[in-house]
Amino acid sequence: MAKIEGRNPVIEALKGNRKLDRILIKNDISGDKIDWIISQARRQGVIVERVSRNTLDKLALSHAHQGVIAIGETLTLVSVDDILKYAYQRDEQPFIIILDQIQDPHNFGSIIRTSYAAGAHGIIFQEKRAVGVTPVVAKSSAGAIEHIRLAEVTNINQTIDRLKEEGLWIAGADMQGQQAHYQADLKGKIGLVIGSEGQGLRRLTREKCDFLIKIPMLGELGSLNASVAAAIIIYEIVRQRA
- Please write the tens of the pLDDT for every residue from 155-196: 999 999 999 999 999 999 998 899 999 999 999 999 999 998
Strands of 55-135, DSSP E: 68-72, 95-100, 122-126
Mind listing the pLDDT tens digit for each residue in 143-152? 999 999 999 9
Residues 27, 141, single domain; the answer is no
Q: Which H or E run includes 91?
A: none
Domains: count for the chain: 2
- Secondary structure of residue 13 in the 3-state scheme: helix
101 with 203, same domain: the answer is yes
Q: Both 202 and 87 in a single domain?
A: yes
The verdict on 67 and 84 lying in the same domain is no
**Residue 84 shares a structural domain with residue 198:** yes
Q: Are residues 202 and 93 in the same domain?
A: yes
Q: Are residues 31 and 140 in the same domain?
A: no
- The H or E element spanning position 102 is none
- The secondary structure element, H or E, covering residue 227 is helix 226-241
Of 23, 38, 72, which residue is a domain's last?
A: 72
Q: Which of 49, 72, 95 is at the close of a domain?
A: 72
Q: Strand, helix or coil at 166?
A: coil
Say how many C-beta atoms besides its own lie within 10 A of residue 78's C-beta.
16
Domain that holds residue 87: 80-241
**Would you say residue 135 has pLDDT above 90?**
no
